[in-house]
Amino acid sequence: KYRRELQLRKKCHNELVRLKGNIRVFGRVRPITKEDGEGPEAANAVTFDADDDAVLHLLHKGKQVSFELDKVFPPQASQEEVFQEVQALVTSCIDGYNVCIFAYGQTGAGKTYTMEGTAANPGINQRALQLLFSEVRGKAADWDYTITVSAAEIYNEALRDLLGKEPQEKLEIKLCPDGSGQLYVPGLTEFRVQSVEDINKVFEFGHIKRVTECTNLNEHSSRSHALLIVTVRGLDRSTGLRTTAAGFGCVSSGKLNLVDLAGSERVGRSGAEGSRLREAQHINKSLSALGDVIYALRSRQGHVPFRNSKLTYLLQDSLSGDSKTLMMVQVSPAEKNTSETLCSLKFAERVRSVELGPVSRKAELGSWTSQEHLEGDSPGSTAPPG
Ligand code: ADP
Ligand code: MG
């Protein structure tokens, strides 16, 4: 029964992809906060259309600029409402799809609020894991699922484990030698989570680690990309086969990548020097590499420049083929932020308003394999939580 259901869902998915592509760009506008001050600088510069939830208008230097995205969330949108629009994407990783959700925007625009949220009002990360657990429990009679999580950070193009014992160690990205075209990171800790309590433990652990290792977590997190990688592996109890987007009988699984990106503000232009400048250059480079990759994928170009940054290389197999991507562009509504808001919305439009090219054979076939780059040793097995 589940197999038929999956085939049907896959058919619907293929049809949607053919029509709209598999990349969505949402916008979320945070409320005006105390930090915005009280004067004209804190005046609201963003307005919405009552009858079109995909449009927003920005008042910039006396002119109104309008943008159309796939969906726009106004300041009053709750975490729950946002998650409702993301749910289907999250659960598709149970069916073997790879999914990426990015929060993009200048520092203070609400990226972390959307992904992590607060204890009272959790964001996408926690809601996604909770939903995965309840979905998987519902199928437990026929399917044996394993859910694991990893947390990593990319700072100055160096990748490090946020859950590991050796946090300072720089990790490398390698191609699986099994010919699947999947990438993996030897040494990246993978915790097997079996309950909501387990997730909370993992989140706390990762968070405490980041707090104790940084003199200023806010500053540090605005200059690094934070990734939460959730892998869902399913085993059909009756046949012993695993599920993947490509069908049955394969040995791969679905991955959900939840990414809180580094701040997109243009630091380099304000005369930064030394390490500040280096950080800014790395951030600019990786964010534009991400934009280029999404642009190339959406326009179905033959060559996709995954290798131009650690971030896109790490996420290569979750961005290509029949993977699904959501870019959540966060903006501030305050007058003083309008030039950064404009930049973020232009980024959003650039990756969205691409003409969809013809569906390539590769995209139809599913996974993106490049076996000629085979390297590294076999995937290391990592310890479950102690
Ligand atoms: P970023 O991660 O992009 O630097 P934060 O998520 O830390 O930004 O948000 C900056 C501030 O704005 C925080 O105090 C956060 O709680 C608040 N904030 C952001 N988005 C919202 C929202 N949608 N509703 C309420 N408060 C928000
Ligand atoms: Mg943040």
225 CB under 6 A from ligand 1? no
107 CB under 6 A from ligand 1? yes
pTM check: above 0.90:
no
206 CB under 6 A from ligand 1? no
| ipTM of predicted assembly, 2 dp | 0.99
Whether 225 and 101 have beta carbons less than 8 Å apart is answered as no
Q: What number of other Cβ atoms are within 10 A of residue 141's Cβ?
A: 8
Dist. CA 253–CA 231, nearest whole Å: 7
One digit per residue, the tens of pLDDT, for the chain of length 386 reads 666 777 777 776 666 555 556 889 999 999 999 999 988 889 999 999 999 999 999 999 999 999 999 999 999 999 999 999 999 999 989 888 899 999 999 999 999 999 999 989 999 999 999 999 999 888 888 888 899 999 999 999 999 998 887 767 889 999 888 777 778 899 999 999 988 788 888 877 766 666 666 667 677 778 899 999 999 988 877 776 665 554 444 434 899 999 999 999 987 555 667 788 888 889 989 999 999 999 888 887 788 999 999 999 999 988 888 889 999 999 999 999 999 999 999 999 988 865 554 443 333 333 222 222 222 333 333 333 33
30-37 — which CB contacts under 8 Å span 24+ positions?
A: 30/75, 30/109, 30/110, 30/113, 30/330, 30/331, 30/332, 30/333, 31/75, 31/76, 31/333, 32/75, 32/333, 32/334, 35/108, 36/332, 36/334, 36/336, 37/336
Atom of ligand 1 nearest to the CA of 103: 3
Nearest to 221 by CA among 261, 253, 194, 252: 261
Whether 224 and 310 have beta carbons less than 8 Å apart is answered as no
7-16 — which CB contacts under 8 Å span 24+ positions?
A: 9/95, 10/95, 10/245, 13/92, 13/97, 13/322, 14/322
Cβ within 8 Å of residue 57, ≥6 positions away: 46, 47, 48, 49, 64, 65, 66, 67
Tell me which of 28, 29, 33 to substitute to probe ligand 1's pocket, judged by most ligand atoms within 8 Å of the beta carbon.
33
State the number of CA atoms in the 13 A half-sphere of 116 facing the CB.
Answer: 18
Cβ within 8 Å of residue 291, ≥6 positions away: 347, 350, 351
Tell me which of 28, 30, 46, 258 to substitute to probe ligand 1's pocket, judged by most ligand atoms within 8 Å of the beta carbon.
30
Parallel/antiparallel/unpaired status of strands 183-184 and 174-175: antiparallel
Whether 160 and 153 have beta carbons less than 8 Å apart is answered as yes
Residue located via tokens 């699922």: 145
What's the chain's length in residues? 386
